[in-house]
Structure 1
Amino acid sequence: MCGMPQQPPVRSTPPRPSRPDASMSLLTNVMDHSLDDGYAEAAARKKAAGAGGMPKTVRARLGLAAGLVLAALVVTVGAANARIAAPVVAKERQELIDRIQRETSSADKLEAGVDTLRDDVSARQREALKKQGGGDQADLVGILSGAVAVHGPGVKLVVNDAKEATQGGDGDPRETSGFSDTGRVRDRDMQRVVNGLWESGAEAVSVNGQRLTALSAIRAAGDAILVDNKPLVPPYTVLAVGDGERLSTRFQNSADGLYLHALQENYGIRTSISVDDDVRLSAAPSVIVRTAQPSTEKGTS
């Protein structure tokens, strides 16, 4: 009995198990392809262009060259503007110099005129006094008032601040002055020096070239000493016309001379006095003569 050939049994392949995240295909695609294909292509093109383009060092040199050209252009423009403005500045400067010279010349002429008028007034005063029998007295009055220049024997006294102005010392001769820096020369010190010279027989006195008169004042403005409202700086040179040896001795032995010596010993204020055979003092810049007139008004009871 023949029968039909027997077919081998067909073995079925078991189905492939599905991915656990098969239901999340969209999220899986996003994770696997996080960069869009268009961005990737653009990056590839840029890389290819850079590889075949200009090297970075060349670009840096070109940028530096461009910067240097720009700087040179700025400097050139500035120099051109300076050359254009230079003649104008020079002209203005010259005009200012000319103006200063003109004003200085005018001031010199006015000063010379004042000196001429002062000499004329002095001559007329002497002439008037001579007519009244007082010629010698007129010369003496002119010297004592500071109206005329004088020269003759006298003394030179130099007063200067201490090298290091410090506090200290016993027996302060000016403890009521109210100044803490006792190493500096003050206006009251110069007042005592000048008054001491007058008292010792000086006929004419000047301080740093400033002729003193009966109307002169020595004051202080801050730390500066003023003589007739003109500030002076140390050292203070005091010239006095008189009998040199006698004037020097009498001043050093006077109360004011001893006061100056005490300042030197206690506070280091530097002083020196010498006798000179020819001391020259100029006239005072201006002397205003005031005269008293009897009152014409009758008193009321």
Structure 2
Amino acid sequence: MADADRLLGGYDPNAGRSAHAAARPQLIPVPSLLRALLSEHLDPGYAAAAARRGGADAPRRGRERAFGWLWEALAALLIAAVFAAAVAQARSVAPGVRDAQQLLLQSVRSSESTAARLGKERSALTARVDDVQRRALAENAEGRRLLTRLDALSLAAASTAVIGPGLTVTVTDPGAGPNLSDVSKQRVNGSRQIILDRDLQLVVNSLWASGAEAISVGGVRIGPNVTIRQAGGAILVDNTPTSSPYQILAVGPPHGMRDVFDSSPGLQRLRLLEASYGVVVAVDVADGLSLPAGSIRDVKFAKQIGP
């Protein structure tokens, strides 16, 4: 087949004819359209045009690739320069940050020591005032009645230290546990903290209802102005952090308190946590419990409830 015929679609008018057998019937040529569909998947004109365009665009594509590589190299250099500047700045600032941290640490320790010293002075002055007050009121019958009333109010206000028999309730977090209780939304999976502030609040209220006369949590006396609250992962008792094991001391009639506390909502809550999470709960009767005096704050507005 001639090249001109191939460019026209592949039709050859002499296709199928036999030049050596003139007497035989002539064969009908295969239509050029079907033959082109089966053999020529791309029109030759398109192939020739693509070849011409490819030869003309090859230098331009080479220049585009070179510019692309150049921009990538510039971007890499810019990123490296930024990282180098950041590292250099961090190294230059690090000594100042360490000095600031040390200064803040020293300031915190100094404030803590000052607060401890002032607390001791306050306790000593409070004891002196109480001694002078008692000696002045013990001289007559009216003063002694007033002193008895003041002692009762001081016990209710948790302003005096208390020593006596009572109950010790020790609650220890076991570690990570499944979320089985109704407060699972407030707990973090894998966290070692199971006991929450409201658990301790319920135990303290149950001890009050059981007949306790004075209570302390983690060494902090519970009084009218003392709160137990959650702050992130810590439990604060009167703004003092406390951690597991949580020790709750309650001064009062030990056996009577034990009988009532065994069926109280607070102990039932602890038993539920013990069964669900493995919390360790220990309730013991003890003698000679020593509870410190609580902090005294001015009450601006108060109203007596009940008789």
- The match for 2:224 among 207, 214, 232 is 214
- Go from structure 1 to structure 2 and tell me whether the alpha carbon gap of 1:118 and 1:177 turns closer, same or farther (over 3 Å shift): farther
Match of 1:227 in 2: 237
Conserved 8 A contact 1:162-1:269: yes
**Equivalent residue runs for 1:69-108 within 5 Å:** none
Match of 1:196 in 2: 206
**Equivalent residue runs for 1:108-123 within 5 Å:** 110-123=118-131
Match of 2:298 in 1: 289
**CA deviation string 1:137-167 (max 9, x = no partner):** 2112212211111111101100111243332
Match of 1:277 in 2: 287
Letter in 2 for 1:116: A
Q: RMSD between aligned alpha carbons?
A: 3.3
Give the superposition deviation at 1:175. 3.9
CA–CA distance in structure 2, aligned partners of residues 245 and 132 of structure 1: 32
**CA deviation string 1:255-299 (max 9, x = no partner):** 222122111112211110000021111111x201325499xxxxx
Match of 1:135 in 2: 147
Conserved 8 A contact 2:202-2:265: no
Conserved 8 A contact 1:186-1:225: yes
Match of 1:87 in 2: none
- The match for 2:170 among 123, 143, 158 is 158
CA–CA distance in structure 1, aligned partners of residues 199 and 112 of structure 2: 37
Match of 2:187 in 1: 179
**CA deviation string 1:101-132 (max 9, x = no partner):** x9999777644421222123334555569528
- Go from structure 1 to structure 2 and tell me whether the alpha carbon gap of 1:125 and 1:292 turns closer, same or farther (over 3 Å shift): farther
- Go from structure 1 to structure 2 and tell me whether the alpha carbon gap of 1:117 and 1:184 turns closer, same or farther (over 3 Å shift): same
Give 5+ residue unaligned stretches, structure 1: 1-101, 295-301
DSSP-derived class of the 2:262 partner: helix
CA–CA distance in structure 2, aligned partners of residues 104 and 221 of structure 1: 20
Letter in 2 for 1:275: V
CA–CA distance in structure 2, aligned partners of residues 190 and 104 of structure 1: 27
- Counterpart check, 1:243 vs 2:245: no
- Go from structure 1 to structure 2 and tell me whether the alpha carbon gap of 1:292 and 1:244 turns closer, same or farther (over 3 Å shift): same
Letter in 1 for 2:198: R
Give the superposition deviation at 1:205. 0.5
Match of 2:278 in 1: 268
Whichever of the two has the greater Rg, that structure is 1
**CA deviation string 1:13-36 (max 9, x = no partner):** xxxxxxxxxxxxxxxxxxxxxxxx
- TM (normalized to structure 2)? 0.54
Give the superposition deviation at 1:208. 1.2
**CA deviation string 1:60-112 (max 9, x = no partner):** xxxxxxxxxxxxxxxxxxxxxxxxxxxxxxxxxxxxxxxxxx99997776444
CA–CA distance in structure 2, aligned partners of residues 289 and 247 of structure 1: 31
Give 5+ residue unaligned stretches, structure 2: 1-109
Of all paired residues, the percent bearing the same amino acid is 32
Letter in 2 for 1:194: V
- Go from structure 1 to structure 2 and tell me whether the alpha carbon gap of 1:103 and 1:204 turns closer, same or farther (over 3 Å shift): closer
Conserved 8 A contact 2:215-2:249: yes
- Go from structure 1 to structure 2 and tell me whether the alpha carbon gap of 1:133 and 1:186 turns closer, same or farther (over 3 Å shift): same
Q: Point out which structure has higher relative CO (alpha carbons under 8 A, 6+ apart).
A: 1
